Homo-oligomer: A and B are copies of this chain.
Amino acid sequence: MDAVRVCVVGAAGYAGAEVCRYVAGHPAMELVMATARAEAGAALASVYAALIGSTDVVLVEPDAEAIAEASDLAFLAVPHTAALALAPALLSRGVSVVDLSADYRLADPAAYRSWYGTEHTSPELLSEAVYGLPELHRGELAALAARRAAGKAVLVAAPGCYPTAAALACAPFLETGLPISSPVIVDAISGVSGAGRSASARTHFCHADESVEAYGVATHRHTPEIAQSLSWAAGHEVGVVFTPHLGPYKRGILATCYLQTAEPLTVEEAHAILARRYGDEPLVDVLAIGEQPATAAVEGSAKALLGVAVDARTSTLIVTCAIDNLGKGAAAQAVQCANAILGLPEETGLLRSLPPVV
């Protein structure tokens, strides 16, 4: 088939540039357009030297009409609220959208208003959008693929980085109906790329280097998204305490999740639940009992690594998940979703790829 023509909106940011990396190396996609307001006019490879020789796309200002003319599929790597108008504008012009922003992740517009402090202006799309965590929403993505094959533009809401790690870790247990004393505690740490490409006091090397700190404690916007995923998996509402930390490294999230189990569970049983759930997944690996995932093992990769332990003294299940926040936590997962709605094997272009851009 002809290569799918792809536009990446917000290509100068880290997540957007990583989408470009995967698209430029993808056997079935062509990077035909990349937009970035501030850097319009510059070659993408002049912003990200790792892409020299791999793409000669020149950044342009985003424009729905121009995007629709050039592309079949658009990735929106934009801050929240920016996709509220852009996604409908593209969909109505026949362009399918994988949105990496937070705008279509929360099913409930009231939750969006409450956590993002602004009214959702295209709530009618919330029921259409599919939450793009393929390992947990494969059927819904297949339905989108069918609609797209029938000529309809479709919308995927790619998950946040922390919610991806937390959901991959916890969902298999909640799906089994294992009784859990709420709340689930998700303690996670991210590399600095998670704070974005804007230069700020927090992203200054001399602030972040050799240091760890918690942030957004009890207030981080990924909390309701994690709770939504865990509640979907459990079939009932699950409370979540989420504490993100900033760590002195570029890429990678480690989520350490604590579930108090009301019934005894051995580590062998816990491991079997994970292994069964993800045994056939090309992008999720479960480590042996006694091993723990290191974020470095997924740096620059599209994969998630999982580990599990049980603290029998306190009936606590401890599940850890390492992903690259820009990979399985953002760009790679967005491309995985795109593959799904294009009817391609999900891992297409994700295992062998151009080198990371940052």
Is A1 on the interface with B (CB-CB < 8 A)?
A: no
State the Cβ distance, A206 to closest chain B Cβ, in Å. 5
Take A193-B206, A206-B193 as given contacts and tell me if A211 and B320 are in contact as well, using a CB distance cutoff of 8 Å: no
Take A187-B187, A206-B197, A303-B53 as given contacts and tell me if A247 and B250 are in contact as well, using a CB distance cutoff of 8 Å: no
The residues of B that contact A300 with a CB separation of less than 8 Å are: 300, 355-356
Distance, CA A314 to CA B186, complexed state (A): 13
Contact B241 A314 (CB under 8 A): yes
One of B214, B248, B295, B358 near A213 (C-beta < 8 A): B295
Which residues, 167 to 220 on A, are CB-close (under 8 Å) to B? Answer: 182-183, 185, 187, 189, 191-193, 197, 199-201, 203-215, 217-218
Is A42 on the interface with B (CB-CB < 8 A)?
A: no
Is A222 on the interface with B (CB-CB < 8 A)?
A: no
Which residues, 232 to 252 on A, are CB-close (under 8 Å) to B? Answer: 239-241, 243, 245, 247-252
Contact A258 B245 (CB under 8 A): no
Take A210-B299, A214-B292, A353-B352 as given contacts and tell me if A248 and B249 are in contact as well, using a CB distance cutoff of 8 Å: yes
Counting contact residues on chain A (CB < 8 A from B), the size range is 35 or more
Contact B203 A318 (CB under 8 A): no
Contact A215 B250 (CB under 8 A): no
Contact A292 B215 (CB under 8 A): yes
The residues of B that contact A294 with a CB separation of less than 8 Å are: 49, 207, 211-213
Is A54 on the interface with B (CB-CB < 8 A)?
A: yes
Number of copies of chain A assembled together: 4
Is A109 on the interface with B (CB-CB < 8 A)?
A: no
Complex: chain B residue closest to A320, CB-CB: B214
Distance, CA A252 to CA B353, complexed state (A): 20
State the Cβ distance, A255 to closest chain B Cβ, in Å. 10
The residues of B that contact A132 with a CB separation of less than 8 Å are: none
Take A203-B204, A249-B211 as given contacts and tell me if A49 and B297 are in contact as well, using a CB distance cutoff of 8 Å: yes
Contact B192 A189 (CB under 8 A): no
The residues of B that contact A301 with a CB separation of less than 8 Å are: 50, 355
State the Cβ distance, A290 to closest chain B Cβ, in Å. 9
Is A305 on the interface with B (CB-CB < 8 A)?
A: yes
Is A339 on the interface with B (CB-CB < 8 A)?
A: no
**A-B contact list, 16 entries, CB within 8 Å:** A49-B287, A50-B298, A52-B305, A53-B285, A182-B314, A189-B245, A199-B204, A209-B250, A211-B252, A212-B249, A212-B322, A243-B318, A248-B249, A300-B300, A301-B355, A352-B353
